[in-house]
Structure 1
Amino acid sequence: MKKPIFIGAIGCGKTTLCQRLQGKAITYNKTQVIQYYQNKNLIDTPGEFMEHRNLYSALMTTSVDSDVVIFLQSVVDKRQSFAPGFGSMFTKEKIGVVTKIDLSDTPEDIDWAAQQLKSAGAEKIFKVSAKNNIGIEELSQYLEII
């Protein structure tokens, strides 16, 4: 089982995805601190850690406990959350997850989000809707959760 750390902007769906991967009910829960989910070896980080450069060191330090770094980009958030090459600060495998694909107006929205993740350094891209359970099985299999 791979131990992932989830990194992304506020509201991109990190916690919802963690809930889905654990088979829990989907409920809104603002992540205030780093959350460790021992039952599935997941690390959920607050979006503020991604959005404020002075907190990058917390992401790097916490990633030491992970096997894979997962960058998340929501299709509804049109901000460039990740700087090009952002992933170079991590020495782990890096993958990307396009979230909230059920809210996409066009396929171009999903393509744009995937490109943002690739630019950040994601080597493989998954497209999911945690709310509608789309793409979750493929991601779970990759992370060896199921």
Structure 2
Amino acid sequence: MKRRIIMIGRSMAGKTTLCQYLSDQQLKYKKTQAVEIINKNMIDTPGEYLERTYMRGALMVSAADADTIVLVQDATENGTMFPPGYSSSFAKPCIGVVTKSDKATEKQLEDAQKYLKIAGAKEIFVTSSYEGTGFEPFLKYFEDK
């Protein structure tokens, strides 16, 4: 992946696990405390930056170095932290990734995709880092850009 992406989502949404999977690292839980650059092309952000509205400015600053915004939605979460039209804040291409698809019901998967569409994600990818599913179309998206 040549484009730099920023992962935005609430705590425990799977942003760090997604980064670990994409960079062929061992999957293990690690709480992200600050913005981290992984393999020079992924920006991992703390969930608190989205969860606390007074910290959202830090996401705007961190996103300045990204080519693509990736909104990360946990499929098993009831509800979302992304307001309608959230992606328009960035003026950059925005995609959505649904995580933890292996733990979700069909209804939860549908809802997660709906939340991401409402937030402004133009394309949505449904993934499971633990099963290794859904990543081919995600990676192809970046090859085509």
TM-score (norm 1): 0.93
- In 2, the alpha carbon distance for the partners of 1:142 and 1:16 equals 20
- In 2, the alpha carbon distance for the partners of 1:66 and 1:120 equals 18
CA contact 1:22–1:40 (8 Å) conserved in 2: no
- In 2, the alpha carbon distance for the partners of 1:88 and 1:24 equals 32
Compute the displacement of 1:40 (Å): 5.2
- In 2, the alpha carbon distance for the partners of 1:143 and 1:57 equals 26
Equivalenced residue count is: 142
Compute the displacement of 1:80 (Å): 2.3
- In 1, the alpha carbon distance for the partners of 2:114 and 2:32 equals 26
Aligned to 1:19: 20
Aligned to 2:137: 138
CA contact 2:17–2:129 (8 Å) conserved in 1: yes
CA contact 1:32–1:46 (8 Å) conserved in 2: yes
- 1:13-67 deviations in whole A, cap 9, x for unaligned? 0000000000111011100000101x25100000000101111110011101000
- In 2, the alpha carbon distance for the partners of 1:141 and 1:88 equals 24
- In 2, the alpha carbon distance for the partners of 1:2 and 1:141 equals 12
Secondary structure of 2:115's counterpart equals helix
The 5 A counterparts of 1:1-146 are 1-37=2-38, 39=39, 41-105=41-105, 107-144=106-143
Structure 1 unaligned regions, length at least 5? none
Structure 2 unaligned regions, length at least 5? none
Q: Percent identity?
A: 40
CA contact 2:75–2:98 (8 Å) conserved in 1: yes
